[in-house]
């Protein structure tokens, strides 16, 4: 089986990128879309993010064989509940949320009797809204699919094939393990970035103008992530609380150890860690998950 009519609920960065990627790479597949915000619907229609932008969610899902919720994870249950009676019985339900156990529960509760197969494409930028999406967002990125126990293998395969059709690499994973892995590769980094940008904004001895002027020393990197969508990220932290708190605890312990090394002038401990951390970046570049150019290629652009 493969999907022929895909409904996208929520037309921001992720929803818009899926719509554009389907039209670009899977031309036989029809796309409908809806967003709660009328201004977003209007802009989505202008940009042609999906084949048909519908005036109601019920219209968008009425003929769909795949419904993908692309709204903040805290809102998925409510939005799905509103559309429950309109979604065809045979449609596969999926999403793009960054936490998967809570989404699986929310969708199962809102749409009893439907086949729910959550998914999470590990891709994005710091932008959000209907102007942010682009067709190549998923190229070479991983999409983690977290089928519940006993899920229909043919439908899981169809969803995996759909994501591969958009250029992604697919990995199947248990939802709980997903939440632990993403807590360290995504959620903790965002939390740290938001924190440090907040800390730098609230100093009495250093002005905000100085923080901005001298940000090329490293700080500016963190501001990119800390410019991400506030609603989305609030929801991620609230819905993946346990794993985030566990990773945060480990991070704080490690930071305290470094703090102690600095206080006591223990250069060897610092040097050893700073040497180890170089290897991981080399592996990330070798795996095609980041730009090999120094400074993310920013300097090429500036020069």
Q: Is 159 exposed, middle or buried (0-12, 13-18, 19+ CB in 10 A)?
A: buried
Select from 120, 140, 138, 154 the least CA-distant residue to 19. Answer: 138
Could you say whether residue 163 binds its own copies (CB under 8 A)? no
Contacts of 201 (CB under 8 A, 6+ apart): 208, 211
Q: Of 112 and 218, which has the nearer Cβ to its own copies?
A: 218
* Alpha-carbon gap, residue 16 to 122, rounded angstroms: 15
Kindly identify the residues of this chain, within the stretch 92-111, that bind its own copies according to CB under 8 A: 98
**Nearest residue to 156 via CA among 107, 103, 119, 121:** 119
Residue from the set 36, 45, 75, 136 that interacts with its own copies by CB under 8 A: 136
CB of residue 167 vs its own copies: minimum separation in angstroms? Answer: 10
Token output for 115: 């086949």
Centroid of chain to Cα 295: 23
Binding-site size for its own copies (CB under 8 A) equals 114
Residues 10-69 that bind its own copies (CB under 8 A): none
Nearer to its own copies, 154 or 263 (CB): 263
Q: How far is CA 252 from CA 98, 228, 259, 262, in A?
A: 23, 23, 10, 15
How many Cβ atoms from other residues are within 10 Å of residue 37's Cβ? 14
| Residue 252 within binding range of its own copies, rule CB under 8 A | yes
Give the residue, chosen from 30, 103, 137, 156, that forms a contact with its own copies under the rule CB under 8 A: 137
In angstroms, the CA 176 to CA 181 distance is 9
| 86 or 139: CB nearest its own copies | 139
Q: How far is the CB of 263 from its own copies (least distance, A)?
A: 6
- Binding status of residue 171 toward its own copies by CB under 8 A: yes
N- to C-terminal Cα distance for the chain? 50
Stretch that binds its own copies, among 50-58, 88-96, 134-142, 151-159 (CB under 8 A): 134-142
Binding segment (CB under 8 A) for its own copies, from list 27-35, 45-53, 79-87, 293-301: 293-301
Segment lying near its own copies (by CB under 8 A), choices 39-47, 102-110, 153-161, 281-289? 281-289
Q: Residue 222 interacts with its own copies (CB under 8 A)?
A: yes
- By CB under 8 A, what part of segment 60-79 binds its own copies? 74
Q: Is 191 in the site for its own copies (CB under 8 A)?
A: yes
Question: Applying CB under 8 A, does 234 fall inside the site for its own copies?
Answer: yes
CB of 129 to its own copies, least distance (A): 12
> Quick check: 233 and 194 in contact, CB under 8 A?
yes
């Amino acid at each position: 089986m493969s999907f022929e009519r895909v409904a996208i609920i929520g037309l921001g960065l992720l929803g818009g990128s899926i719509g554009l990627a389907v039209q670009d790479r899977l031309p036989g597949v029809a796309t409908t879309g809806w967003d709660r915000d009328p201004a977003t619907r209007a802009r989505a229609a202008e940009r042609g993010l999906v084949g048909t932008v519908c005036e109601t969610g019920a219209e968008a899902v009425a003929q769909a064989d795949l419904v993908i919720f692309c709204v903040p994870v805290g809102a998925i249950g409510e939005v799905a509940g509103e559309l429950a009676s309109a979604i065809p019985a045979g449609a596969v339900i999926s999403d793009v949320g960054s936490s998967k156990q809570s989404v699986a529960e929310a969708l199962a509760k809102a749409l009893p009797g439907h086949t729910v197969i959550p998914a999470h494409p590990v891709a994005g930028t710091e932008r959000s809204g209907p102007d942010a999406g682009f067709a190549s967002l998923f190229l070479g990125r991983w999409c983690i699919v977290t089928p519940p126990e006993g899920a229909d293998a043919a439908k899981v395969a169809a969803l995996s094939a759909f994501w591969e059709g958009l250029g992604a690499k697919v990995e199947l994973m248990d939802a709980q393990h997903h939440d632990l892995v993403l807590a360290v590769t995504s959620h903790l980094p965002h939390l740290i970035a938001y924190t440090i940008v907040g800390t730098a904004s609230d100093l009495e001895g250093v002005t905000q103008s100085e923080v901005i002027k001298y940000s090329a020393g490293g700080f500016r990197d963190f501001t990119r992530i800390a410019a991400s969508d506030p609603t989305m990220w609030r929801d991620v932290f609230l819905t993946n609380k346990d794993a985030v708190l566990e990773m945060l605890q480990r991070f704080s312990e490690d930071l305290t150890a470094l703090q102690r090394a600095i206080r006591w002038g223990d250069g060897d401990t610092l040097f050893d860690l700073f040497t180890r951390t170089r290897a991981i970046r080399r592996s990330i570049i070798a795996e095609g998950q980041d730009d090999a150019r120094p400074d993310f290629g920013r300097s090429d652009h500036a020069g």
